[in-house]
Structure 1
Amino acid sequence: MSSLLFKPLETSDIPFLMDIYNHFVLHTTYSFHTEPVALPEFTESVIHANPRYQTYVIMQNEMPQGYVQIMPHKKKQAYDTTGEVTIYLHPTYVGKGTGSASIQYIETFAKERGFHSLIATVCADNSASIHMFTRNGYQQCAYYREVGFKWGQFHDIVTFQKIIS
Structure 2
Amino acid sequence: MTDGTVQPVAIRAARLSDAEGIREIINYEILNGTSIFELEPRTLAAQRTWLQDRSGVHAVLVATPDDGDDTVLGFSSLSPFHTRPAYNTTVENSVYVHQDHRGKGIGRALLVEIIGLAQSHGFHTVIARISGKNETSVAVHQSVGFEVAGVEREVGRKFGRWLDVTVMQLMLRDWTGTPDRA
Give TM-score scaled by structure 2 length. 0.84
Moved more, 43-52 or 126-135: 43-52
Partner of 1:134: 142
User: Aligned residues: percent identity?
Assistant: 26
- DSSP-derived class of the 2:78 partner: strand
Match of 1:83 in 2: 91
Q: Specify the alignment match of 1:159 in structure 2.
A: 167
Indicate yes or no: 2:152 matched with 1:144: yes
Question: Are 2:54 and 2:79, in contact at CA under 8 Å, matched by a contact in 1?
Answer: no
Pairs within 5 Å for 1:5-154: 5-48=10-53, 51-61=56-66, 62=69, 63-154=71-162
Give ranges in structure 2 of 5+ residues lacking alignment. 1-5, 174-182
Mapped partners of 1:49, 1:135: distance in 2? 26
Q: Find the aligned partners of 2:118 and 2:142 in 1 and give their Cα distance.
A: 18
The answer to whether the 8 Å contact 1:47/1:55 transfers is no
CA RMSD of aligned residues (A): 1.6
Contact 1:26–1:34, Cα closer than 8 Å, also in 2: yes
Query: What SS is found at the alignment partner of 2:140?
Result: helix
Q: CA deviation at 1:47?
A: 2.7
Quote the offset at 1:2 in angstroms.
6.0
Residues 74 and 107 of structure 2 are in contact (CA less than 8 Å); yes or no, is this contact kept in structure 1?
no
CA deviations 1:119-163 (Å, max 9, x no partner) are 110114212111111121111112111111111111111111000
- How many residue pairs end up in the alignment? 165
Q: Give the secondary-structure state (helix, strand or coil) at the position aligned to 1:74.
A: coil
Q: TM-score, normalised by structure 1?
A: 0.92
Amino acid of the structure 2 residue aligned with 1:136 = V
Higher strand share: 1
Deviation of 1:50 (Å): 5.4
Supply the AA of the counterpart residue of 1:147. Answer: V
